[in-house]
Structure 1
Amino acid sequence: MKKKGPTKSASQQEPSSPPDQLLAEVAFAQIEEMIITRKLPPGSMISESQLATEMDMGRTPVREALQRLRQIGFVEMLPRRGTLVAGVDIRQQLELLEVRRALEDLVVRVAALRATPEERAHLLTLAKRIITAAKRGDTQAWIRTGGEIHDAEVQATHNSMLITSMLPIHAQSRRFWYHHIVQNRAYVEGAQLHAAVLTAIAEGDGDLAATAAHGLMQFIERFTRSALDTF
């Protein structure tokens, strides 16, 4: 009878690989960041195999991440050519703002009503962080914190449909801002407006949050139109 080799203890066994779904989330976040910061510039072709090697994972999660990025307008799938990084369309930003304006009003009102104490505290922390980033002139921290603010606000609504609807809108906005916000004065003003919205939500004042959000949206539209004029 063939003897069995020694069985490995739990501490000696090889760690299991994370499920592809979790890796796809990691890949999505990393590739989105590459596109926003122009490490993958508009018009460039994306190699699944190269990205998989760089991120030390298989091609399946990378492919799933690219499909999600296609849904939010970051990439285009071209038959027989591959995956192309989509351009940044300023005029499309104005169309997006028409939709975003109405949804932002709903988001901040619902968040002010439903946010948990922990979420309200986190919103106040983010308000301080974006102000600090603006004063330091740290554009990357400003953009990164802005993304966290968007996520925190919509998560505080506890409404899955709002969360799903706002994901592509906020993603496109972050990409636009990274490309076009170049003056310290502009993002100091933007930080102050964001902070006003966050503070009103944290205080549970839906009307004040909506008023602050309206001011923020006016600023964003004014900034977008100024970028269009110089395009």
Structure 2
Amino acid sequence: MIQKRSSLSQTAYLKIKKKIMRGDFIDENYTSQNQLVGELKMSRTPIITALQRLQHEGFVKVISNQGIVIQESSIKEINDFFDARIAIETYSIQRTINLLTNKDFDHLDEMITAQKQCCESQDYFSFVKLDADFHQYLLEVDGNSLFVQTMSNIRERLFYNSTCFFKKQQNMDDFIQGHIQILDALKQKNQQLAINELEDHIQSGKISLI
């Protein structure tokens, strides 16, 4: 029975987290236990356990007798997250640049093309996911599993903020151009240019979200 409850709580956790990251609550920035019970077709107990976990991770704030507020990252958190990104990604790209193959370049080009399609269709959720995937792919080529996991956690925390931010055409265009410039530098095997383009791109995201 305990194992079943744990499994249900994990299911609720994953479903609620997906809804948050997909931007389901962006308009009101709010939900409730009753709303989640109806939407997930689950009992209240696993949902409460899932919400406690999500609150501990910083995704929501549960307010007694009022509801659940979806938490945007604070300015301090955004600063810390992006500083960590710059440190990890610029270090990692120095090793990645000599490991990338034409197959890797083709895959990264496909990501950029897919982002352009998301921009045209105003698919904000998929655009943000592709943005994260582009950077995550470069880390995975390097192969440092701690970097990969750390960045995955950071991007999850920033995902909600990013989905809100990318609801502007110009923002999406700017980030696509940033990826193009990073990829061009990587193709040239120009390490310093790649580092500069990557840092400028990440700094731009930090300034925009703040």
TM exceeding 0.5: yes
CA contact (8 A) 1:137 1:184 kept: no
Distance 1:111 1:68 in 2: 35
Q: Secondary structure at the match of 2:97?
A: helix
Aligned length: 203
Matched, 1:125 2:106: no
Matching residue within 90, 94, 101 for 2:86: 101
What is the CA distance between 1:89 and its match in structure 2? 2.5
Identity across matched positions, percent: 18
CA deviation string 1:154-179 (max 9, x = no partner):
22221101011111222233321212
In structure 2, list runs of 5 or more residues that go unmatched: 1-6
CA distance in 2, matches of 1:216, 1:76: 31
The within-5 A match list for 1:21-100 is 28=14, 30-40=15-25, 44=30, 47=33, 69=54, 72-76=57-61, 85-100=70-85
Contact 1:127 1:199 in 2 (8 A): no
- In the alignment, does 2:122 pair up with 1:138? yes
- Larger helix percent: 2
Q: 150, 158, 177: which one pairs with 1:173?
A: 158
Contact 1:109 1:201 in 2 (8 A): no
Gaps of 5+ in 1: 1-19, 226-231
> Offset of 1:189 from its aligned partner?
1.2
Considering only aligned residues, what root-mean-square deviation do their CA atoms show, in Å? 4.0
Q: Quick one: structure 1 residues 81 and 223, their matched pair in 2 at CA, closer, same or farther if it must change by over 3 Å? A: closer
Question: Is this contact kept in 1: 2:82–2:203, CA < 8 A?
Answer: no
Alpha-carbon deviations, 1:138-169, whole Å to 9, x = none?
24142232132233222222110101111122
TM-score by length of 2: 0.69
Larger Rg: 1
**Conserved? CA contact 1:155–1:163, under 8 Å:** yes
Normalising by structure 1, what TM-score?
0.64
CA contact (8 A) 2:108 2:134 kept: yes
Q: CA 1:96 to 1:83, structure 2 compared with 1: closer, same or farther past 3 Å?
A: same
Distance in 2 between residues matched to 1:204 and 1:26, nearest whole Å: 45
